[in-house]
């Protein structure tokens, strides 16, 4: 595999999740020669589908002020740029546990009130849902969810309108970084050359870097279970998050008109520091014996929110969740922008959460050269090819 000046494409984006799709659209603003390669048969079917669907306002991060403030700012942009995919017809309640919480109700309230976040004490009708011995305080917070199906349809339509080549059911199985360009080996046996490759494969980032003999990023993975439930009538038009420690969340999962139930103690089934040579994240998930922990999740959660006894379990969905090792302690979710060595033509980006997509735009634009002229017109459907 060798890359010369006459490449097939200017940019190959590897990974057709929300981040890869948006990046391909972003790159389209400076080149018509963009290829998006996705291993699966459809776009946005991995972490961009299997997640809690929360558009983070920041309340989730009382231990990472930087992430909380950033979420406050970014979620507003996400709401303005993808309004069709936003579902806000419910009230989110954040409840602070009396014991084992890493934040007190007073501190939580003060932090977000001072930040100008949409928070107030919950009304009596909502407080009564919680066990008063276990819950110190309940706050009514403005937080919304996203519908991954609508988001996927939007970016799919925009990729088509922008005339971007998309290859589905095609994995990148080899990658050569020649410093003047890259050559990707595809699962159909063909080679494709480009000026740059963007590795936007989330939990597979290091697996792909290893194929290119490039240094890995410091990542940690976990197999996460989201239980999908029909909520009890008391929770209709409500979402609940109990903070801040080994607690749980029950909130709308709009794409299936169900709720997800996740629990800090039971949702992660298995976690490990990344080492693709020893354990490929996708292969590990595929081979993993999935035994739902829904019963444990609900048993503990209903101690705090008794009406959960009336929830109806539908099924569980599983995905590998990948975070930066440096954010294990504070729960922060910045993006990873990884280009090592500096002259490498392979650039990897890990999306921490959906609305961090704006950080991706900033990071790539900041790479200098032609990237300085990038704009988001195609991403937000404001330009047509
Ligand atoms: C359990 C869980 C809960 C979460 N909850 C939230 C939440 O509530 N709110 C929030 O904002 N964020 C949440 N996140 C984070 C969010 O889902 C991710 O930040 C986001 O989806 C990352 O998008 P992505 O495109 O980078 O990854 P993905 O959607 O995983 O896309 C990566 C793509 O790369 C493809 N790929 C991999 N290897 C190759 C290869 N070799 N060749 C070609 N293609 C390849 C995959 O098939 C996949 O489609 C959660 C994540 C998880 C896992």
Percent of the chain at pLDDT above 70?
97
Kindly provide the b/e burial profile for residues 182-198, where b requires at least 16 CB atoms within 10 angstroms of the residue's own CB: bbbbbeeeeebbbbbbb
pLDDT given at position 333: 65
pLDDT given at position 2: 43
Residue with tokens 């919480």: 101
d(C-alpha 154, C-alpha 110), whole Å: 38
Q: Whose CA is nearest to atom 4 of ligand 1?
A: 51
d(C-alpha 203, C-alpha 351), whole Å: 10
| Long-range contacts, stretch 272-278, CB < 8 angstroms, 24+ apart | 272/220, 272/221, 272/222, 273/219, 273/220, 273/325, 274/206, 274/216, 274/217, 274/218, 274/219, 274/220, 274/221, 274/322, 275/206, 276/204, 276/206, 276/207, 276/210, 276/216, 277/210
pLDDT (tens digit, 9 = 90+) per residue, 43-98?
999 999 999 999 999 998 898 888 889 889 999 999 999 999 999 999 999 999 99
Tell me which DSSP letter residue 163 carries: T
As assigned by CATH, the class of the 91-144+219-327 domain is alpha beta
pLDDT given at position 334: 74
| Ligand 1 atom nearest to 187, measured from its CA | 42
Tell me which DSSP letter residue 361 carries: H
Q: Which CATH number fits domain 9-46+149-215+340-373: 3.50.50.60, 1.10.1660.10, 3.40.50.620, 3.90.110.10?
A: 3.50.50.60
Q: Whose CA is nearest to atom 3 of ligand 1?
A: 51
Pocket test for ligand 1, best of 17, 54, 271 (most atoms within 8 A of CB): 17
| Ligand 1 atom nearest to 267, measured from its CA | 1
What's the helix, strand, coil split of the chain in %, to 5? 30, 30, 40
d(C-alpha 385, C-alpha 375), whole Å: 14
Q: Whose CA is nearest to atom 13 of ligand 1?
A: 353
Residue with tokens 């991954």: 148
| Ligand 1 atom nearest to 355, measured from its CA | 11
Residues (pLDDT < 70) of the chain are 1-5, 328-333, 384-385
Q: In 3-state terms, what secondary structure has residue 262?
A: strand
Q: Are strands 34-37 and 165-167 parallel, antiparallel or unpaired?
A: parallel
Distance of CA 175 to the CA centre of its chain: 25
Distance (Å) from CA 204 to ligand 1 centroid: 10
| Ligand 1 atom nearest to 15, measured from its CA | 34
| Ligand 1 atom nearest to 322, measured from its CA | 53
pLDDT given at position 330: 61
d(C-alpha 342, C-alpha 248), whole Å: 41
pLDDT (tens digit, 9 = 90+) per residue, 304-317?
999 999 999 999 99
Residue 209 dihedral angles phi and psi, to the nearest 5°: -60, -35
d(C-alpha 139, C-alpha 123), whole Å: 8
> What residue spans in the chain does CATH classification 3.30.9.10 cover?
91-144+219-327
pLDDT given at position 332: 63
Q: Whose CA is nearest to atom 1 of ligand 1?
A: 51
Output the six-digit token pair for 249: 């969340």
Measuring from each residue's beta carbon to the nearest atom of ligand 1, which residues come in under 6 Å? 14-20, 37-40, 44-48, 50-54, 56, 171-172, 200-202, 204, 208, 224, 226, 319, 321, 351-355
| Ligand 1 atom nearest to 208, measured from its CA | 41
Q: What is the ipTM metric for this complex?
A: 0.99
> What residue spans in the chain does CATH classification 3.50.50.60 cover?
9-46+149-215+340-373
């Amino acid at each position: 595999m060798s890359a010369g000046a006459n490449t097939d494409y200017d940019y190959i984006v590897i990974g057709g999740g929300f981040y890869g799709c948006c990046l391909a659209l972003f790159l389209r603003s400076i080149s018509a020669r963009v290829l998006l390669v996705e291993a699966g048969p459809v776009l946005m079917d991995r972490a961009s589908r299997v997640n809690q669907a929360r558009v983070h306002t920041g309340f989730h991060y009382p231990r990472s002020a930087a992430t909380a403030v950033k979420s406050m700012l970014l979620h507003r942009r996400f709401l303005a740029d993808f309004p069709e995919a936003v579902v806000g017809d419910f009230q989110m309640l954040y409840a602070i546990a009396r014991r084992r919480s890493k934040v007190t109700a007073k501190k939580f309230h003060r932090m977000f009130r001072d930040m100008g976040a949409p928070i107030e004490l919950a009304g009596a009708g909502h407080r009564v849902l919680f066990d008063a011995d276990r819950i110190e305080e309940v706050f009514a917070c403005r937080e919304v969810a996203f519908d991954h199906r609508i988001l996927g349809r939007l970016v799919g339509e925009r990729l088509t309108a922008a005339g971007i080549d998309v290859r589905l059911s095609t994995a990148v199985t080899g990658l050569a970084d020649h410093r003047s360009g890259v050559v990707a080996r595809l699962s159909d046996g063909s080679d494709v050359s480009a000026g740059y490759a963007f590795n936007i494969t989330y939990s597979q980032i290091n697996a792909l870097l290893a194929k290119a003999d490039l240094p890995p990023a410091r990542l940690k993975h976990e197999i996460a279970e989201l239980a999908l439930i029909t909520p009890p009538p008391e929770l209709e038009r409500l979402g609940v998050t109990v903070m801040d420690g080994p607690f749980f969340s029950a909130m709308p999962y709009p794409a299936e008109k169900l709720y997800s139930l996740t629990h800090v103690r039971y949702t992660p089934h298995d976690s490990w520091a990344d080492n693709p040579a020893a354990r490929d994240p996708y292969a590990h998930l595929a081979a993993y014996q999935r035994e739902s922990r829904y019963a444990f999740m609900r048993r503990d959660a209903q101690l705090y929110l008794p009406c959960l006894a009336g929830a109806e379990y539908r099924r569980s969905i599983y995905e590998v969740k990948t975070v930066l090792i440096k954010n294990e302690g504070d729960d922060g979710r910045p993006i990873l922008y990884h280009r090592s060595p500096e002259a490498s033509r392979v650039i990897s980006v890990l999306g921490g959460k959906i609305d961090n997509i704006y950080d991706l735009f900033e990071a790539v634009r900041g790479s200098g050269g032609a990237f300085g002229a990038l704009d988001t017109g195609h991403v937000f459907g404001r330009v047509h090819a």
